[in-house]
Amino acid sequence: MDVSKVQEAAALLARAYATREPIEPLIKTYPDAGVEDAYRIQQEQVRRWVEGGDAVRGHKVGLASAAMQRQMGVDQPDYGHLTGGMFHLEHQPIPTTAFLQPRIEPEIAFVLGSALRGPGVTVADAVRAVDFVLPSLEIVDSRIQDWKISLFDTIADNASSGGVVLGSSPTALRDADLRLAGCVLYRNGVVAATGAGGAVLGSPLNSLVWLANTVGPLGVTLEPGHVVLPGSMTRAIPVSPGDTIVTTIAGIGSVTAVFSEEA
């Protein structure tokens, strides 16, 4: 894709954000585009957000579990950017009108204490770089009609990012086994899904390593203080106005997202 097509695709997504009206899959409009083009579209959106006063505060890995890959019909992970405007406070009402077709998923969030830059990052490097982990809920959203996304579509659409709710119980890595940490996701007090950390590329730490080594050659460093969401431990579930979503992660804690009742 030439620069004008990249900007055109980013503008289509920007209009979907502004109007809250999803668009047709981008891959239909740009059938010859590839993964590299999709990341260029994503970067163009991020550039516009930063120019508008927002700031990059972390990254997310999407489609890191077999369950999510099956649900979305793709066969590899992807990544997106987290900006300051995406973070919501626990227990405070989140307007569903801020999203188009939101779903939610439980994750173990890494908060970095030192920088990580690939290639060549190992699990040992990642362990040293993590300051602490937090329970979190990621709100995923799609600007593509009916979630009919290809890998190209979800990458271009900032890895289907929507929002983040962080819990308030920091845990050191030495105090938790992320692979064996069991997770229960509740929707309005009813169990909606269960999973474990090992569902995320074998360990959420593997996802952090994958991210650092994937973005490093692009000149991107995972910065101290940034939040990294490594991927969902369960399938994503839809959310509606008035929903209360809670996840409990063994050894790490719980986090609650409350959605305002206004449609």
Domains in the chain: ranges and CATH: 3-260 (3.90.850.10)
Give the pLDDT band of residue 77 (cuts 50, 70, 90). confident
- Model confidence over 202-237: pLDDT tens digits? 999 999 999 999 999 988 999 999 999 999 999 999
In this prediction the pTM is 0.94
CA separation for the pair 31, 9 (Å, rounded): 12
Give the pLDDT band of residue 108 (cuts 50, 70, 90). very high
DSSP string across 182-245: EEEEEETTEEEEEEEGGGTTTSHHHHHHHHHHHHGGGT--B-TT-EEE---SS--EE--TT-EE
Residue 164 in this model has a pLDDT that exceeds 90? yes
Mean predicted confidence (pLDDT) in 116-125 = 97
- pLDDT for res 217: 92
Find out whether the peptide bond into 119 is cis, omega within 30 degrees of 0: yes
Calculate helix-pair angle for 35-51, 3-19, nearest 10 degrees: 60
Residue 102: phi and psi, rounded to 5, are -75, 145
- Model confidence over 189-204: pLDDT tens digits? 999 999 999 999 999 9
CA separation for the pair 251, 72 (Å, rounded): 29
Residue 263 in this model has a pLDDT that exceeds 90? no
- In DSSP terms, 112 is beta-bridged to 130
